[in-house]
Amino acid sequence: MDKQNLFDKYGGVPTIKAILEKFYKDLLSLRWTRKMFVNVNMDKLILHQIQFVSFAMGKPESEFDDKRLREGHAGLGITEAQF
Ligand code: HEM
């Protein structure tokens, strides 16, 4: 039990998906974020984000390269403070 990863412990993809949907709903209700997501396919973004969070929570046999995170945000003009 104590060796269980956080991904399985908290219910895997369904839990992460529900939290991310709420997260982006709240995020996009803020004025300063909206313009950054106008041309973004949110369904696709949430799928990618599920992969990232699953990996970060220790899902077995998953991976998410730092390069993908860097390239995904390149050219968006995101400041340190926003991060
Ligand atoms: C801890 C900080 C953050 C993490 C872990 C994170 C994670 C991610 C992930 C996993 C993706 C999907 C990458 C892919 O398509 O493979 C993504 C895309 C994106 N993120 Fe972030 N993000 C962070 C901060 C931010 C901030 C501060 C903003 C802007 C306010 C932002 C805006 C975006 C946008 C607009 C995309 C979509 C890019 C596209 O599909 O063209 N992110 N992020």
Confidence at 2, pLDDT banded by 50, 70, 90: low
Q: How far apart are CA 57 and CA 54, in angstroms?
A: 5
In the chain, domain spans? 6-73
This model's pTM is above 0.85: yes
- ∠ CA 76-77-83, nearest 5°, is 95
Residue nearest to atom 26 of ligand 1 (CA): 83
Residues 6+ apart with CB under 8 A from 20: 46, 49, 50, 53
- The protein residue whose alpha carbon is closest to atom 33 in ligand 1 is 73
**Segment 52-81, tens digit of pLDDT:** 999 999 999 999 999 999 999 998 889 999
d(CA 78, CA 83): 7
Centre of ligand 1 to C-alpha 1, Å, is 33
2 CA from centroid of ligand 1 (Å)? 32
When pLDDT is cut at 50, 70 and 90, the band that residue 1 belongs to is low
Task: Write the CA distances from 12 to 9, 15, 60, 76, 82, integer angstroms.
Answer: 7, 6, 11, 30, 28
Q: How far is the CA of 3 from the centre of ligand 1 (A)?
A: 30
Residue with tokens 């998410």: 64
